[in-house]
Chain A
Amino acid sequence: MSVEIEELAGAVAEVVEPAFARLADVAGTVAAGPARRPWAEADLAPVRERLVALVAEDAMLVGLGFVAAPGIVEDRERYLLWWERKDDRLSRLRLNFDPSSIDVYDYLQMEWYQEARGGRDRVAFGPYVDYSGSGLYIVTATVPVRVDGEFVGVAGADLVASELERRLVTVLQRAGRDAVLVGPERRVVAANTPRWVVGTRLPSMPVPGDEFAAVAEVPSGTGWILAIGS
């Protein structure tokens, strides 16, 4: 059983690996920017080009971008270079950053930003209803962007929950037994059984015992836990 669950956990990680590979690509492109800072918007032209190319590569990706830490882009307290893909049409996402406004989109408060800033190398937040951003049910994946060890922002990708679910459930169905994938918020990301409902939160993180026969960390770096039901 333990070999089996490790294998399965590895296969789950493979589902999100391409997204994180693209985020590493974005992060690398950002980090290759001019040594002098703050950056001008024009300095990010290569990033823009890279984002537009990468976001079209995978149907699961509905958004991709670079989200700058304050003071990194000149004269911009908040700066988002983000592309959305909808029905094969790309558009730049524009959000309200006016702090005096009720509708302000303050990404500094978002988990996917804070976790990456706080030292986690890979974040997968959600699934959640992204009312302020894409309007979709998504998982947001992020990685920190660092230049010479200094945090300059995050590279992020919005993964549409429907397609992510299809791919994860395909893997989980190989378990042959009840299997559930749980995120660090104790939120069910996917399951191969109606026993656990996607989007709900478990009372506690799974540990081997009465309810779960085996539990393994998914080697995706996102804090996801794979559990096999007893």
Chain B
Amino acid sequence: MTPVSSLSPLTPSVTSSGRADEVVQRISEAINLGLLDDGERLPAEPELAAQFGVAPMTVRDALASLRDLGLVETRRGRSGGSFVRRPPAPEQEPLRQRLAAMTVSELRDVADEHRAIAGEAARLAAERAGAVNVRRLFGLTEQLGTASTLGDRIRADCRFHIEIAVASQSSRLTRREVSLQAEVSGLLWLPVGPDLDVAAHVAEHHGIAAAVVAENPDEARRLAVEHVDHALHRLTSLHLLLTSEGAP
């Protein structure tokens, strides 16, 4: 995965909001979700600045914070640069704070967009997927069920949805799905309140994969949209739990 292509979908659309902490948040999520590989070299500072639409100084500050968080390592010399260091599982506190700071209407709006993207990606995937996509979808569904760490579970979840978008043959839908996964999946798997029902989640992925392999576009879309609705349900209850009095 080239650093540029894996970061570009995460570029905020409103450049004025590109402060250092937003750059930190985007990059740390991309690292935690496995969108950036362990050991991968980040683009050079001017390139990152261009991608995020911020000043090079802002990128420098962001990289310093990422170093402090232990997510990035900077080496000097000809083969130097900033390299990704992926922790076994994402830091939970920033995710909790972010979910608490959101509003229910914001969560619903993210889900609205996600329904459009994931639903259409699934519909197209059912029409266009090749044998290799289908194999990967079932493989990732199995990995979601057998993952032994939270980090692996989140990555298997994300990769499944990204693979659906890949199978749709659309680079743009894939970029949107990557961006939505970066925004949502860490929150979805937060160990707050009642545990997310892994078996049910696996069954839903299996259902979507089965509709894709059966070349049933309407069913694939329906199940993918339903899956987003279930995620919205969980995110809303977690948000309300975190913002209620005596929050965990």
State whether these chains interact: yes
Residues of A near any B CB (own CB < 8 A):
84, 86, 91, 93-96, 102-103, 109-111, 127-129, 131-137, 185, 187, 199-201
Beta-carbon contacts under 8 Å, B126-173 to A: 127-128, 130-132, 135, 140, 143, 147, 152, 155-156, 159, 162-163, 165-166, 169-171
Whether A102 pairs with B155 at a CB distance below 8 angstroms is yes
A103 to B38, CA, bound (A): 10
Residues of A within 8 A of B170 (CB): 129, 199
Apart from A102-B156, A110-B132, A185-B130: 8 A-B pairs, beta carbons within 8 A: A94-B37, A96-B37, A102-B140, A103-B159, A128-B130, A128-B166, A134-B2, A135-B5
Whether A102 pairs with B127 at a CB distance below 8 angstroms is no
Given contacts A103-B159, A109-B132, A200-B128, contact A128 B169 (CB under 8 A): yes
Residues of B near any A CB (own CB < 8 A):
1-2, 4-6, 34, 37-40, 127-128, 130-132, 135, 140, 143, 147, 152, 155-156, 159, 162-163, 165-166, 169-171, 174, 178
Interface of A (DSSP majority class): loop
Residues of B within 8 A of A201 (CB): 127-128, 130
Pairs of residues from A and B, 5 with the lowest C-beta to C-beta distance, nearest first:
A135-B5, A199-B169, A102-B155, A129-B166, A103-B34
A136 to B172, CA, bound (A): 10
Q: Which residue of B38, B135, B156 contacts A109 across the interface (Cβ within 8 Å)?
A: B135
Given contacts A102-B159, A128-B169, A129-B174, contact A111 B38 (CB under 8 A): no
A134 to B162, CA, bound (A): 15
Residues of B within 8 A of A200 (CB): 127-128, 169
Residue of B4, B128, B178 with most partner-chain A CB within 10 A: B128
Residues of B within 8 A of A131 (CB): 1, 162-163, 166, 174, 178
Given contacts A102-B34, A102-B143, A200-B127, contact A135 B166 (CB under 8 A): no
Closest B-chain residue to A91, C-beta based? B2
In the assembled complex, how far is the CB of residue A38 from the closest CB belonging to chain B, in whole angstroms? 24
Closest B-chain residue to A198, C-beta based? B169
In the assembled complex, how far is the CB of residue B67 from the closest CB belonging to chain A, in whole angstroms? 21
A132 to B162, CA, bound (A): 10
Residues of A within 8 A of B39 (CB): 94
A94 to B79, CA, bound (A): 14
In the assembled complex, how far is the CB of residue B80 from the closest CB belonging to chain A, in whole angstroms? 14
Residues of A within 8 A of B130 (CB): 111, 128, 185, 187, 201
Give me 13 A-to-B residue pairs in the complex whose CB atoms sit less than 8 angstroms apart, sorted by A's number: A84-B2, A91-B2, A94-B37, A96-B38, A103-B37, A111-B131, A128-B169, A129-B170, A131-B162, A135-B5, A136-B171, A137-B169, A201-B127
Residues of B within 8 A of A137 (CB): 169, 171
Whether A127 pairs with B5 at a CB distance below 8 angstroms is no
Whether A127 pairs with B171 at a CB distance below 8 angstroms is no
